[in-house]
């Protein structure tokens, strides 16, 4: 994620900020330029972007309708046919906000979703709601279990562009219990969004496209029985050699899941490296003068890098440092994965496909 600067006073801003802490100007995220900007209030809830020398026809915005309820700081052009921003317009169902616990969980879901949508927009991928395009659009259902005490459970998953997420995933304790029950190394709310939207973009970017054959060479043939593959995975566990071929054990269950897991890690890598770049980070460990693989200066925004191998060359030393810092704080590794050469080839394929799609739009 980028760092932003208040163009009124120069204060460093973070993606979720709704007000500048120095000059107290309201802030809004403008999705055409992907910038966080200070705002000047106009009449009836309208704003213009602050400009030291105002132009003759500065555009007017309102806050997204979820500004108060979901702490959404994204802007909507005045006169838009929808009162919701690009991210919130993707919602089909939200939980009952009269329940304070559900409201809090929904707010966490929306925070994660905005980070997801930022990455998709930054990549130049199509982000279209099912309201605008029922056949090919994207939508989210955020649902609670009908009976929280037991019985039927809402399953997180994807179906033809509709992503359902159980709001229990926004509770740290519930999510950790699920992680342990599923014997997972890693489970985060943002990770859920990235994984499930990977299934959606498989449909948009791979299925019925010229990329399908190369996908099958790298990930396998997705035409194998999906339900039977998952049943076998849960009954017998992953194949013993999965670490040599897959980013996670679950990725070995079916080629669709391999794509979605690898896609999620692709977004993890880009967003984290962009944050490191924004902070001007580098890794230069003492005592490792002869090991150039552990030394890096992160001088390039990964979204701009054409060669994915340059991204990996920065990612490996950065995660070595990140994990070492976490261990010093008594925390588990922030990135507990090993990226083998076969996984690098899959990630590089995703990178090439995304760049090709962005150039074509």
**pLDDT per residue as tens digits for the range 130-171:** 999 999 999 999 999 888 767 788 999 999 999 999 999 998
Domain housing 143: 88-204
Q: By percentage, how much of the chain surpasses pLDDT 90?
A: 80
**Maximum C-alpha span of the chain:** 67
Joined together, the tokens standing for residue 189 give 């709310």
pLDDT digits (tens, 9 = 90+) for 293-311: 788 889 999 999 999 999 9
First to last CA, the chain: 23
- Do 215 and 356 fall into the same domain? yes
Q: 77 vs 53, 83, 111, CA distance in Å?
A: 21, 9, 21
Look at residue 290 in the predicted model and tell me its pLDDT. Answer: 64
Joined together, the tokens standing for residue 340 give 């083998």
- Do 76 and 133 fall into the same domain? no
Domain boundary among 32, 56, 85: 85
Look at residue 291 in the predicted model and tell me its pLDDT. Answer: 66
Q: Output the pTM of the full model.
A: 0.93
- Do 35 and 145 fall into the same domain? no
How buried is residue 233: exposed, middle or buried, by Cβ count under 10 Å (0-12/13-18/19+)? middle
Domain boundary among 172, 204, 236: 204
- Do 191 and 148 fall into the same domain? yes
Domain boundary among 19, 53, 85: 85
* Cα distance between residue 43 and residue 344, in whole Å: 52
Give me the mean pLDDT over the 278-284 stretch: 92
- Count of domains forming the chain: 3
Q: Give the three-state DSSP class for 350.
A: helix
- Do 221 and 359 fall into the same domain? yes
- Do 274 and 350 fall into the same domain? yes
- Do 55 and 136 fall into the same domain? no
Look at residue 286 in the predicted model and tell me its pLDDT. Answer: 81
Look at residue 68 in the predicted model and tell me its pLDDT. Answer: 87
- Do 255 and 296 fall into the same domain? yes
Where does the pLDDT of residue 264 fall: very low under 50, low under 70, confident under 90, or very high at 90 and above?
very high
pLDDT digits (tens, 9 = 90+) for 166-224: 999 998 888 888 888 877 888 899 999 999 999 999 999 999 999 999 999 999 999 99
């Amino acid at each position: 994620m980028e760092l932003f600067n208040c163009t009124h006073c120069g204060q460093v801003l973070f993606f979720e900020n709704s007000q500048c802490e120095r000059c107290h100007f309201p802030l809004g995220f403008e999705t055409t330029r992907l910038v966080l900007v200070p705002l000047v209030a106009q009449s009836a809830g309208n704003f213009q972007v602050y400009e030291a020398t105002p132009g003759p026809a500065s555009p007017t915005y309102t806050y997204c309708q979820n500004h108060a309820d979901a702490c959404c700081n994204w802007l909507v052009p005045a006169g838009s046919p929808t009162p919701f921003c690009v991210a919130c317009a993707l919602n089909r169902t939200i939980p009952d906000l009269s329940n304070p616990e559900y409201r809090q969980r929904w707010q966490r879901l929306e925070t994660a979703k905005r980070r997801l949508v930022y990455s998709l927009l930054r990549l130049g991928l199509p982000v279209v709601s099912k309201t605008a395009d029922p056949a090919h659009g994207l939508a989210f259902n955020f649902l609670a279990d009908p009976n929280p005490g037991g019985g039927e459970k809402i399953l997180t998953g994807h179906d033809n562009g509709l992503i359902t997420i159980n709001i229990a995933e926004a509770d740290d304790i519930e999510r950790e219990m699920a992680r342990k029950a599923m014997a997972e190394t890693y489970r985060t709310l943002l990770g859920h969004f990235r994984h499930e939207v990977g299934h959606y973009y498989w449909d948009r970017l791979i299925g019925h496209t010229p990329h399908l054959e190369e996908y099958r060479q790298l990930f396998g043939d997705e035409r194998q029985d999906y339900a039977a593959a998952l049943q076998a995975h849960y009954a017998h566990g992953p194949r013993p050699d999965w670490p040599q071929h897959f980013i996670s054990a679950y990725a070995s269950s079916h080629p669709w899941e391999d794509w979605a897991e690898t896609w999620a890690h692709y977004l993890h890598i880009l967003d984290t490296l962009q944050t490191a770049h924004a902070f001007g980070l580098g890794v230069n460990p003492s005592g490792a003068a002869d090991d150039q693989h552990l030394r890096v200066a992160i001088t390039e925004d990964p979204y701009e890098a054409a060669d994915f191998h340059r991204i990996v060359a920065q990612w490996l030393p950065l995660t070595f440092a990140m994990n070492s810092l976490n261990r010093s704080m008594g925390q588990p590794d922030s990135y507990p994965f090993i990226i083998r050469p076969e996984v690098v080839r899959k990630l590089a394929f995703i990178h090439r496909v995304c760049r090709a799609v962005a150039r074509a739009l």
